[in-house]
A and B are shown apart, each in its own frame.
Chain A
Amino acid sequence: MHIIEDGNAAAALGVRLCRPQVIAAYPITPQTPVTEKLSEYVEEGSLSAQYIPVESEHSALAVCIAASSAGARVFTATSANGLLYMHEQVQWAAGARLPIVMCVVNRAVGAPWNIWNDQQDSISQRDTGWIQMYCADHQQILDTVIKAYWLAEKVSIPIMVCYDGYILSHTFMPFDLPEAGKVDAFLPPFQPDYALNPREPANLNTVTLPDVRVDVHGELAHGYMEIRYLLQEDLRLALAAAAEMERRFAGVFGRTADPYLEPYRCDDADFVAVGLGSLTYQLRVSVDALRAEGIRVGVMGVRFYRPFPDEAIANALKGKKSVIVFEKALSYGYEGALASDLKSALYEYLGGTGSLPTVQNFIAGIGGREIHTQELTDTLRAATQARVSKEPVWIGLKL
């Protein structure tokens, strides 16, 4: 059934279909309506979950960590400084290998204070060991929440489902709301390998020594380094699990998608714009305009950002003249994080082959600065004519 709702409603409806057992969240703009809707679902009885009000985002994720450790399917959501305030627990959740799903409604971080959209919040959490998936419209928000629970529980790694604040969270558009039976067929109840149990007390994630040692059962236990290595290895293996996730999802819902990338008019393109989130859909309009001018250009959204689908990206960009990366975030002091990651993948797979594209980096929409489609089109056209700069170029800057 198609309904017209905003992006936060798409997220909340997706979460309800996944039947979480514990929800803990602290409201922050533009995430607030997600938590409001979920608390209403619990209140009216359309979602059978414990909704635990907390006094901060740090506590919200702490509650989720505890409940997930006890074997519950859990949910939280946040934005911007709320995510930053969680940061210690964000790291903990990944190290503890808990399949928590969290929506990050992307918003600029302070200072200065700003409530509008960019992606500095989730990008700044890139290296925490969470899986990060980015959405470009409401159908993707709803579908990605459902997929995220399957994948998180498959690989025991928490997932951030990221979508642009306001541009998606507060904008209304139609999307298909699946029947509960389909979601149940795709996503079985959470069956943890281990769950906290008062009758069998255990210590979890206590001080873990630099080296391996014999544990209380007389078995050789991992040291900190082995545990952290396994997180990295399992994150890399999650790429294959994501492909299985998409196959299974398509089998149940009939919507097929590439698990990592969303290319548009890229096959015969000489130039490809790359980005995360709704900006890549806006760029489709620019691509169509430039195609009408005879410029062979396409755009590719990166849906799966961590673990980074380096091989898929390098294959998709092989033989292109230039890759033009548009970002709503920056690794301050260098360039956009996605641009750096792309360069790294291209160097690894295409270095020395003679088919290494140039990479250009444009920064747009910081702190909600309006991105005019004409501006994107002009920028993209200029980038196909010559490499504009070695440094990241800020679009729409008024200095």
Chain B
Amino acid sequence: MKKDYLEIRWHGRGGQGAITAAKVVAGAAFSSGFAGVVMAPTFGTERRGAPVMTSLKISKTKIYDLSPIEKPDIVVVLDHLLLKEADVTHGLKPGGIIVLNTPMAHETYHFKDFNLATADVTAISVEAGLPHGMVNTGIIGSLERAANLLGIDLLIERIEGEFRTRRPEKNALAARLAYERTATGG
């Protein structure tokens, strides 16, 4: 997916690190020549465990519209149980991409009109040496596999920078493994 303007909506739970993940992608996009990157969390309702959303807009030119995303190109879902709690495909453009962290088989899901990418990021992250539940770096690998946005090497470099004091190698490995093992199609 190579475009001059992209909108990515992240669905996670409070404390899961969706904002940090979006920030990593934002930084990578800016350093790749996207002059406009705007990342906006949903405001005022952040609690640990509660469903939260973050908007990320990426543009070749400066972004003047800071209003929340209404028609995303991509939705990233950090916890498959959110499918039952939130309307994660709301407004998703036909042909849009769903990046889903799930322990279930890819074939379990049937999203008409959308392209699904799945990986068990929770298990992959544990395998990479991260504590159980830390999925916000692995999911970046899945996003890159599904959308081919910025290149996995650049994203891993940004992950190592963002997490330089918090297990940089393990976070980088989680993203690399998730990138390699994300299932797409269907």
Contact = CB atoms under 8 A, between A and B. Distances in A.
B9 to A, nearest CB: 15
B26 A167 contact: no
Contacts of A2: 30
Give chain B's interface residue range (CB within 8 Å of chain A).
20 to 34
Contacts of B43: 30, 116, 166, 170, 368
B135 interface: no
A4 B35 CA distance: 11
Contacts of A166: 43-44
Contacts of B38: 171-173
B11 interface: no
A166 B39 CA distance: 11
B97 interface: no
Give chain A's interface residue range (CB within 8 Å of chain B).
20 to 34
A116 B43 CA distance: 8
A182 to B, nearest CB: 22
Q: Which of B26, B38, B65 has the most CB of A within 10 A?
A: B65
B67 to A, nearest CB: 6
A371 interface: yes
A174 interface: yes
B63 A284 contact: no
Interface string A368-399: 10111100000000000000000000000000
Nearest to A280: B64
Contacts of B35: 174
Interface string B1-43: 0000000000000000000000100110010000111111101
Contacts of B37: 4, 172-174
Contacts of A282: 64-67
Interface in B53-99: 63-68, 70
Interface SS of A by simple majority: loop
A282 B66 CA distance: 7
A342 interface: no
A1 B40 CA distance: 22
A217 B65 CA distance: 60
A171 B40 contact: yes
Interface in A26-72: 29-30
Interface string A162-189: 0000111011111000000000000000
Contact of B23 (A4, A30, A116, A278): A4
B180 to A, nearest CB: 28
A196 to B, nearest CB: 42
B16 to A, nearest CB: 17
Contacts of A171: 38-40, 66
A167 B42 CA distance: 10
A281 interface: yes
B70 A372 contact: yes
A290 interface: no
Q: Which of A4, A115, A278 has the most CB of B within 10 A?
A: A4
Interface of A: 2, 4, 29-30, 115-116, 166-168, 170-174, 278, 281-282, 284-285, 368, 370-373
**Which 6 pairs between the two chains have the least Cβ-Cβ distance?**
A172-B39, A281-B64, A166-B43, A171-B40, A284-B64, A285-B65
5 contacts: A4-B23, A4-B39, A116-B43, A170-B40, A173-B36
